[in-house]
Amino acid sequence: MTSEHALREAHPTERAVGIEYYVSDADGIGGHLRASPDDFRVRELEAFDAEPLGADPGSYPELVVRVTLRDWDTNDFVRRISDALQISRERVSWAGTKDKRAVTTQLFTLREIDPEDLPTIRGAEIEPLGRAGRRLSFGDLAGNAFEIRVADVVEEAPERVAETVRDLRAFAGGDDDATDATDATDATDADEAPIEATVGVPNYFGQQRFGSRRPVTHVVGLAIARNDPREAVRLYAGNPAETEPDDTRAARDRVDAAFGVNTEGADGADVDEPERSAADGTGDGDWVDCLDAIPGKLRFERSMVHRLADRDTDPDASVDDEDWWHALEAVPSNLQRLFVNAAQSFLFNRILSERLRRGLPFDAPVAGDVVCFADGDAPEELYAPDTDRLQWVDADRVSVVSRHCERGRAFVTAPLVGTETELGDGEPGEIEREVLADAGIEPADFALPRDFDSAGTRRAILLRTDLDASFADGDPRLSFALPSGSYATVLLREFTKSGPLDL
C-alpha cells in the first residue's frame, strides 16, 4: 500500500465536485481571466479534411468555412448566420461550442451554401476553405490551442509561475530541477523570464462540467443512478444555492416545501444545505403554486414542475414512480445525458483525488492499472489518448508500459463508470471500488431508462501539454494545447490558486 501524500487543499467549491487538491504547492498569482476578449484566444485543432472550393456541390454539399469570432457565443453566432443566410439552423454545423468572452477560431459547415452567399457579420471573420461531403460533428474536434493572459496578478507572479511550472513538470514525469524553470525563478526582469516546459496536471473535469454558481448536475445524476428520479427532480428544481438571486432561491424553497423538505429551522432561519437532502413526507404537492413562484428564466425547472402539475403527482409517490421519470424527461435529451455524464465525471474526479492523496503516479502505471495508447491521428501539438485501445497492466509489464508512457505512447486511465465498465486491479482497482462504494453506486446502476443509460468508458488521468509562458507586459501569457474533452481551467487553477468563479 502506498503511503498517503500531503497536498495543498483545493477551493471548497472544487472539493464539492471531487477536485480535492492542487498538484503544485506554490502560492498563486491571483488575477482574473477575460478582462478583454483578446485575453482569451482559442483555436480549434480539427481532424477534418475539405475538398477544394471548386469541388462539385452536388457531391460535396457542405461549404467549409473558418470563422474567427470576437465576443460571440457559438450558439448566438449560429442563430445570426442562419438568419442572414435565411436557412434553418440545422444546416449549420460545428465541432465544439465556445464561450462568449473570447476570440475563437473554428470551422463551420454550411449546407448548400456558396462562397458568394456568405454574409458580413460584425465581430466575425468568415473565410471559405473548401467543400465537404458531410457536416462537421463533435468527433471532428481533436483539441484546442489556447493563448491566455491572466490580468492583475501579484507582483511576485514571475517567480510563482516558475515554481508552479517546476512542480507541474515533475508531475508530468520530467526533471523538477529543469533549467528553464530555474532560470525563470532567478530572473530579475519579467521580460527575461520566458518558460518552455512539458507540464502535467490531473485530467480533472473542470467546474464548468457541473455548474460554477450552482454545481448540481452531478448530484442529480447520482440520484438518477440510484434509481431515485423523485430526488433527482427535487435536486434540480428545488435545492437552492447561496450564490443564486433572491427570486430563484425563493422559487426553489417553494419547490422544496412542495416535496416536504423543511426549509426553515426551529428559529425560522434557513437550514443548512445538507439538511435538504431528503423530504420528510409532509409536502403539500401544490405544483401549480410552485409554477407561480418559478420565474420564466428557469425554463427547464418550470418544464419539470409543469409535468408534475399536469399529472397532479403525489409528493409521497414512490421514489421511482413513472411520474418522476416523466418530469425528468421534460428537459432536452442532451441535458438528460449531461446529468448522468456529470455523475460519472464527479466519480472520476474523486478517483483522481484519492490517487493523488495516496501518492500513486499519474505519468506511469502501477500493477492493476489500465492504460490506453496514444491517438496516432491527432495533431502534433497534442498529447492525445485513444481510449478505444486499452491494456491491463500486471506486475510483469509495469516497466515496459512505463517506458511507453514516458515517450507519450500510452496513458494511464481511470473509469467513467457505466454498465460495461471493467474496474482495475490492485491498488488502482481498490481506489475505484472505494469511491463507488462511498457514493452508493455500482456499474450496473447505469442501466437506466432511455437517454439516461450509459455504457461508460475510460479517460486518461494525466493531462500533459507543452507550455509557453511569458511576461512581456507584466502579466503572464500562457500558451498550450489540450485534447478534446479536457479543460483549460484545470491547468490555470494551478497557477492562480483562485476559486472557480474567479476564473
CB 429 within 8 A of CB 370: no
CA atoms within 13 A on the CB side of 222: 21
Q: How far is 435 from 414, CA to CA, in rounded Å?
A: 12
Instruction: Count how many residues are written for the chain.
Output: 503
Sheet with strand 410-416: strands edge to edge? 385-392, 370-374, 410-416, 457-460
CB 33 within 8 A of CB 39: yes
Known active-site residue 99:
yes
Whose cell is 472550393? That residue is 53
Which residue in 104, 131, 121 sits closest to 40, CA to CA? 104
Helices of type H across 104-206: 157-171, 179-186
CB 64 within 8 A of CB 50: yes
H helix or E strand, kind and range, residue 252: helix 246-259
Cα distances (Å, whole numbers) of residue 40 to 35, 197, 252, 265, 424: 9, 21, 35, 45, 38
Whose cell is 443548512? That residue is 272
Question: What secondary structure letter does DSSP report for 37?
Answer: G
Question: Which among 27, 71, 73, 99 is annotated as catalytic?
Answer: 99
CB 387 within 8 A of CB 457: yes
Burial profile 36-63: b = 16 or more Cβ within 10 angstroms, e = fewer: ebebbbbbbbbbbebbeeeeeeeebbbb
Whose cell is 471532428? That residue is 140
Q: How far is 87 from 79, CA to CA, in rounded Å?
A: 10
Q: How far is 161 from 172, CA to CA, in rounded Å?
A: 16
List residues with catalytic annotation: 99
